[in-house]
A and B are shown apart, each in its own frame.
Chain A
């Protein structure tokens, strides 16, 4: 399969990429790892005039861990997120989730920024960044802005990104001491994408939940936060009964997708089961 003809420019800086993008935002696509864009071009689902290769821009690379938080550049690959020991020391959920994405060759090229900007409803990182209460840093012709991950995804393959903007990095506030995260995924056996996946973070204080956040992907038209279930569990113990109630609440308050692989009812059940398993694992 051969894509329709396009032109190609390799940008050497973020400023240059933004300048190039302004000329024709609707006819241009940004190319990072290319592992979603190139298959789409080969299927001619998209036919941009110009690809701007942002893959060499140093400002978009690297994982920085500081006192205040963690900054992950948009070009960081799934393989780098898997391999980073400092990141694993802070947040083991990154290695856990990365190991469940696609296969080793794809993980060597695919990037977290590409995954988030593409907003596939079944992608993994959206649930993780939602649960981590991350901020997505965006740059456009009018400068920088930051959007909470929970507000970033708006619909199927849709985000708050404007056509002339670039996703630059993910900022994660340093997790509070005692906060533990887990990622559970039901993987589509052929595509490797999430049929349903849940990222949950919990901190227990004196046996009761004093911090909790939940991100869900695969289930609905975009990743979302499981606010009802979190609100229900706040201040309560992670007893079997409370876990069951929270899992049922999350399942019942989600409008699930239905496709050839999984019906909405099946996805709703998977949310319940996987939320229960995640919370049980975090309760011990």
Chain B
């Protein structure tokens, strides 16, 4: 059997750029993103797949990157919050809606929340309030009480937003 600390070469396309990193098998995807690739917009909250702060997209699906190994993402296409706009200087439509509706306070949950909203509106372009709350059940916010997040999503849906 190979040594347990053998390194594995992982190649991902992240926000359109191809990156190759050698990691331990036990390296979590969120640590690859934050520490190896320096994309610190993706946060670690609970580290137990409850809070959703680490949500990114793998091959177009919102997932919790604290509960995926970096080696499992080899060959995958990943989008993080940094990848939603070309330069990072302007706001993407979901971010702009959050800004407009005051859907964040401390902002810690926001990157994960934004990634989940993209998935929610892909799956349900015209969600009810219940659909929105149910669709964001994997993201915990301790500041807003969620009402303004729901309003931001409703405004995106009413404008026919497509992620």
Question: A44-81: which have CB < 8 Å to B?
Answer: 49-51, 53, 55, 79
Task: Evaluate contact between A7 and B25: CB separation under 8 angstroms.
Answer: yes
Q: How far is the CB of B57 from chain A (nearest CB, A)?
A: 10
A277 adjacent to chain B (CB < 8 Å): no
Name which of B13-21, B59-67, B84-92, B103-111 contacts chain A. B59-67
Question: A2-56: which have CB < 8 Å to B?
Answer: 2-8, 10, 23-24, 31, 34-35, 38-39, 41-42, 49-51, 53, 55
Kindly state the separation between the CA atoms of A4 and B61 in the bound complex, as whole angstroms: 28
Kindly state the separation between the CA atoms of A31 and B55 in the bound complex, as whole angstroms: 20
Please give, as numbers and ranges, the residues of chain B lying within 8 Å of A106 by CB-CB distance: 49, 64, 67, 138
A contact face: mostly helix, strand, loop, or mixed: mixed
Please give, as numbers and ranges, the residues of chain A lying within 8 Å of B139 by CB-CB distance: 103
Known: A104-B137, A105-B116. A39 touches B48 (CB 8 A): yes
User: For the side of the interface on A, what is the size category?
Assistant: 20 to 34
Please give, as numbers and ranges, the residues of chain B lying within 8 Å of A79 by CB-CB distance: 61
Q: How far is the CB of B137 from chain A (nearest CB, A)?
A: 4
Please give, as numbers and ranges, the residues of chain A lying within 8 Å of B4 by CB-CB distance: 5-7, 49
Residue of B nearest to A51 (CB): B25
Kindly state the separation between the CA atoms of A102 and B62 in the bound complex, as whole angstroms: 14
Residue of A nearest to B31 (CB): A2
A109 adjacent to chain B (CB < 8 Å): yes
B72 adjacent to chain A (CB < 8 Å): yes
Kindly state the separation between the CA atoms of A108 and B8 in the bound complex, as whole angstroms: 25
Q: Which of B1, B24, B69 contacts A49 (CB 8 A)?
A: B1
Please give, as numbers and ranges, the residues of chain B lying within 8 Å of A10 by CB-CB distance: 71, 74
Q: How far is the CB of A65 from chain B (nearest CB, A)?
A: 23
Known: A7-B1, A105-B55. A31 touches B72 (CB 8 A): yes
Kindly state the separation between the CA atoms of A34 and B24 in the bound complex, as whole angstroms: 17
Please give, as numbers and ranges, the residues of chain A lying within 8 Å of B3 by CB-CB distance: 7
Task: Evaluate contact between A3 and B55: CB separation under 8 angstroms.
Answer: no
Kindly state the separation between the CA atoms of A53 and B2 in the bound complex, as whole angstroms: 16
Residue of A nearest to B74 (CB): A10
Q: Which of B2, B52, B69 contacts A105 (CB 8 A)?
A: B52
B135 adjacent to chain A (CB < 8 Å): yes
B47 adjacent to chain A (CB < 8 Å): yes
Residue of B nearest to A48 (CB): B4
Known: A7-B6, A105-B116. A39 touches B67 (CB 8 A): yes
A1 adjacent to chain B (CB < 8 Å): yes
What 9 pairs across the A-B complex have the smallest Cβ distances?
A: A103-B138, A8-B25, A5-B4, A103-B137, A105-B138, A108-B61, A3-B26, A105-B64, A38-B67
28 A-B residue pairs with CB within 8 Å? A2-B26, A3-B26, A5-B4, A5-B5, A5-B25, A7-B4, A8-B8, A8-B71, A10-B74, A31-B72, A35-B49, A38-B68, A39-B49, A39-B67, A42-B47, A51-B69, A99-B134, A103-B52, A103-B139, A104-B116, A104-B119, A104-B135, A105-B55, A105-B62, A105-B63, A105-B138, A106-B49, A109-B67
Known pairs A8-B71, A42-B47; list 9 more (Cβ under 8 Å). Answer: A1-B48, A7-B1, A7-B2, A7-B3, A99-B134, A104-B120, A105-B52, A106-B64, A109-B67
